[in-house]
Amino acid sequence: MKNLKTFDEFVNENYKIQEASDADGFNPAKTSDTDPVGGALKAASELLAGKEYVLTVDGEKHTDMIYQGVADGVHIFNGEDKAHDKTFTEEELTALIGKGGVAQVQE
């Protein structure tokens, strides 16, 4: 019974996990306090399909919104996870952008 490993040694032998980190390698001491949300957009032409945006509609923030594009003059934002989809006409989107209600999440 020589050279037996403990359970933790056996489980972690291929992962090189250091102390003070979780199983995914996240180390809370090496986090950043920078906000991933960029500044508000100035025009609808700045929207990029497939990018993530934060929408502020009537004072309510909608995060994790992926811009899908325009179909029949309607701008479509699909929500990730359990977020509800949002659609805006050209006029509604222009008004929302004018109020600073659309900001792209930086990668």
13's CB contacts (< 8 A; 6+ apart) are 5
Q: Per-residue confidence of the chain (107 residues) as pLDDT tens digits?
A: 677 878 777 777 666 555 545 556 666 677 666 667 888 999 999 999 999 999 999 999 988 899 999 999 999 999 877 778 999 999 999 999 999 999 998 87
Residue with the two structure tokens 């609808």: 44
* Burial grade of 71 (CB within 10 A; 0-12, 13-18, 19 or more): exposed
Instruction: Return the CATH architecture of domain 36-107.
Output: Roll (2.30)
Phi/psi at 46 (5° precision): -80, -10
Q: Which two tokens stand for residue 64?
A: 């994790």
pTM: 0.66
What are the residue ranges spanned by the domains of the chain?
A: 36-107
Residue pair 30/22 in contact by the 8 Å Cβ criterion = no
pLDDT value for 15: 61
